[in-house]
Structure 1
């Protein structure tokens, strides 16, 4: 990767991580105030309705990914006429998507009682759902499409900066109003207004930085529209699968296990999402650079970059999964108390899902950057269908843990072998078998380290969880797994690359 791409990726990564870390801290503050001022029932409703609206965003059908991919070449060639045409199409599509989501969302209203098992004693459940729905719809109607141009142009840091500002504003206002009024409606209205104003602020910045928005009247040629829509058709099935895998768990838990479990789970998911948000900045920051790289470079250069990012992704997600499995329950006990804990098997299931999802999503980033949208386009539906069947089936003997285990099992059974095959065979023209052996070794190593850390954790927390014991366990968790990985991978070419990169940067300072 050239110095320019590396610099852009590093800039996007740093700003994105700073935003995510700040968001993580503010989210914990808001969640604490939320629980103290309202109740776990409201928390459960918030988690369930968020999942339903995430599911409804299926209407987007992969347009954002296809649009960003279509911008790489005109941006590299400074073809602003083509960019103008693409953005005009994107604007029209997003307004239609917002309308479709509104229509489908309203159709779900009569079935809310079916989705919610053990309905809580809360008035206005339908009204709260409508607020969630309008928040999602307004995001599509008010300039959300414009941020994609910044992402394609390796300027994700601009989006992160605006998100940081508006997230802080939203957090402060929500905390003050929750403490003053203890009202869920006001909390949701603040969330909606901040979403709208953030999109408007980004739109103003984009119009200022890109003159193409002074001429948004030219239509994209029919052949190029067809190419984009063909990519969307291929991405559509992948998008449906992704949404079902990532949003169906809360809905199935609510319908088959109980709504109160959604609230308990949401605290752990918030911790998980905070870590994912930070880690995803690595792949998000380099995704536009990858698109630019594959436009301008040969397959061998791209494959070397794939191996480096794949190795970095494994280390980051494996270490994070170990830390989450080891520390999440003790952390929640200190934070909220013993009534908000999950069983150990549910914790392992949840963060196994986290690791598999993060690992596969990075491969998905390369698949998108390589434009491999059509290969295996029907397999995502198989993954989604298998996940639903396993989630419902395993919910009876294992409860919430069964629903959570279904997702990583479904992903591994299909995506775990096919995604590497597509990238190696169709993207880089390389044999995939050595990579399968590499995956088997890496997963086995992770499982062994998790078992060792669980034994150490049991010994440290014997007699109960205290802040001192938690700090001791944090230190052990931060050091021991990384020492193991260092010993195992120190002779690895990818490890040597990152070591030399860090040393080089430090010497330059």
Structure 2
């Protein structure tokens, strides 16, 4: 089956998975706020953030192994594939033990990063142990199995399993919250469904890939290559993980659990939109990896320009919709008491766009395995983010946290990472063309956003559900008209139309 067909199939099922992962947890979060209290969600956000930082080693290792599987899968080299899976299993179990140990060492410091009151019925240490246990459990239960599915461009299988298990898990949690009105009961469900999810992935993998079993050893050259990529990717991924994780830690330490929960309500919407767009990245990165292994850099650069145009076209529209619907949606969902000022919304919308500016370039960076080359840039971004968080939160509160992520992401993340990717893969001579195009897309989006805000401001106010719909419709109409007027005669626009026509034709052939 072609790379394009695999990518579109992965996008389709991945999108279903993302919709489920947005709507169901959203309903569950709403229930917890109204039935138990918003401070409990502050604890959830804090503990998840801590464990995400500890869990960064897995992000590096799993991605490096998936990268190492691209070529042997393309060449059908069963011996190397089996050896890699065996190596993956050993290291995963080792990492699980290390993360559990580090998590225990962090426990004495929990009370120092929580400002203000803690729910009286909660023992933060018991609760933290439950979160930690759920995090490390997967390392010992077939977590390595999904790497072969992802590398073989069948991320749709993982998406379907994830969607089903999430629906069941959240249904059980909703029932328990209604019946017991207790946060411990809610948290205890997580490890149970981690076990079920990993076991189901194992069964599916064994069914579709029975010839790939854990046996043999990788040679020293491959081991050194993986080790180098793991270290580089671990540092590379730390940057993305640290953004929200450090935000929550600073908010908890300086402003308290209530502010963490309110901020995370906004961030939930942001990550929901990010995750929908992330379906595209996750769905096509394996296909890009296959293309990098078989095609020239010149051919891949032409594809890159087309994908970037399409992606930024979508990102611009999503940014404007976020900007104009954030506040009315939060008012409808939670009410005025749980809302942040509009200037925070402007900053979060800008942050979203800056994050998306580097996504397509990031896909090629990941597919080419350039994580080691990104190590210094990543460390610098983390340092800049932490320093700016420390400075800004004292003077700007929640806005300072968003600005810290926005500035570090653009100046160090986007610009620095782009330089590395073009230096080591696409060629430095193409970097200026890429940056110029991103600047044009950026200012185009700003101009259209200002126009949309003006039209909405003079269009009158409806009751909330209809006001949100009105704003979405106005945004889409103005955005598509303006983008068509600006781009319809360009090569990128015409190439994008041809790409979608051929892709849809191939997608219709998928059984």
Which stretch shifts more, 52-61 or 159-168?
52-61
Q: Label 1:507 to 1:102 Cα distance change in 2 as closer, same or farther (>3 A).
A: closer
SS of the residue 2:55 aligns to:
helix
Q: By how many angstroms is 1:325 displaced?
A: 1.5
Distance in 2, Cα, partners of 1:140 & 1:89:
13
1:28 maps to which of 26, 29, 33: 26
Q: By how many angstroms is 1:16 displaced?
A: 0.4
Q: Verify: 1:438 aligned to 2:437, yes or no.
A: yes
Distance in 1, Cα, partners of 2:503 & 2:71:
30
Q: Verify: 1:288 aligned to 2:286, yes or no.
A: yes
Q: By how many angstroms is 1:182 displaced?
A: 1.0
CA RMSD of aligned residues (A): 1.9
Q: How does 1:124-143 map to 2 (within 5 A)?
A: 124-143=123-142
Partner of 1:46: 44
CA offset digits 1:228-260 (Å, max 9, x no partner): 101122223212222222321111111122221
CA contact 1:383–1:410 (8 Å) conserved in 2: yes
Q: Label 1:461 to 1:393 Cα distance change in 2 as closer, same or farther (>3 A).
A: farther
Partner of 2:392: 394
Q: By how many angstroms is 1:168 displaced?
A: 0.9
Distance in 2, Cα, partners of 1:345 & 1:145:
43
SS of the residue 1:378 aligns to:
helix
Distance in 2, Cα, partners of 1:414 & 1:506:
37
Distance in 1, Cα, partners of 2:435 & 2:90:
43
Q: Label 1:448 to 1:213 Cα distance change in 2 as closer, same or farther (>3 A).
A: same
CA contact 2:344–2:399 (8 Å) conserved in 1: yes
CA contact 1:394–1:403 (8 Å) conserved in 2: yes
Partner of 2:233: 235
1:468 maps to which of 451, 458, 466: 466
Q: How does 1:157-236 map to 2 (within 5 A)?
A: 157-214=156-213, 216-236=214-234
2:406 maps to which of 408, 412, 420: 408
CA contact 1:162–1:202 (8 Å) conserved in 2: yes
CA contact 2:67–2:367 (8 Å) conserved in 1: yes
SS of the residue 2:372 aligns to:
coil
Unaligned runs of 5+ in 2: none
Q: Label 1:155 to 1:318 Cα distance change in 2 as closer, same or farther (>3 A).
A: same
SS of the residue 1:117 aligns to:
coil
2:13 maps to which of 5, 12, 15: 15
Q: By how many angstroms is 1:445 displaced?
A: 1.6
CA offset digits 1:454-484 (Å, max 9, x no partner): 333444565x852222221121122222322
Q: Verify: 1:278 aligned to 2:269, yes or no.
A: no
Q: By how many angstroms is 1:506 displaced?
A: 6.5
**TM-score of the pair, normalised by structure 2:** 0.94
1:309 maps to which of 307, 310, 317: 307
SS of the residue 1:432 aligns to:
helix
CA contact 1:142–1:199 (8 Å) conserved in 2: yes
1:267 maps to which of 265, 274, 282: 265
Which stretch shifts more, 494-503 or 287-296?
494-503
SS of the residue 2:218 aligns to:
coil
CA contact 2:88–2:144 (8 Å) conserved in 1: yes
Partner of 1:422: 420
2:65 maps to which of 58, 64, 67: 67
CA contact 1:460–1:473 (8 Å) conserved in 2: no
Distance in 1, Cα, partners of 2:224 & 2:247:
35
Q: Label 1:124 to 1:376 Cα distance change in 2 as closer, same or farther (>3 A).
A: closer
Distance in 2, Cα, partners of 1:249 & 1:371:
28
Q: How does 1:71-150 map to 2 (within 5 A)?
A: 71-122=69-120, 123-150=122-149
Distance in 2, Cα, partners of 1:130 & 1:434:
50
Distance in 2, Cα, partners of 1:425 & 1:378:
14
Which stretch shifts more, 181-190 or 227-236?
227-236
CA contact 2:236–2:374 (8 Å) conserved in 1: no
Partner of 2:250: 252
Which stretch shifts more, 261-270 or 57-66?
57-66
Distance in 2, Cα, partners of 1:136 & 1:361:
27
Q: By how many angstroms is 1:304 displaced?
A: 1.2
Q: By how many angstroms is 1:362 displaced?
A: 3.0
Partner of 2:2: 4
CA contact 1:256–1:392 (8 Å) conserved in 2: no
Partner of 1:337: 335
CA offset digits 1:84-125 (Å, max 9, x no partner): 111111111111111111111111111111111113233212
Q: Label 1:338 to 1:460 Cα distance change in 2 as closer, same or farther (>3 A).
A: farther
Distance in 2, Cα, partners of 1:163 & 1:461:
42
Q: Label 1:217 to 1:502 Cα distance change in 2 as closer, same or farther (>3 A).
A: closer
CA contact 1:66–1:228 (8 Å) conserved in 2: yes
Q: By how many angstroms is 1:302 displaced?
A: 0.6
SS of the residue 1:276 aligns to:
helix
Unaligned runs of 5+ in 1: none
Q: Verify: 1:367 aligned to 2:362, yes or no.
A: no
Partner of 1:486: 484
1:350 maps to which of 337, 348, 351: 348
Q: By how many angstroms is 1:437 displaced?
A: 1.6
Which stretch shifts more, 393-402 or 488-497?
488-497
Q: By how many angstroms is 1:497 displaced?
A: 2.0
Partner of 1:454: 453
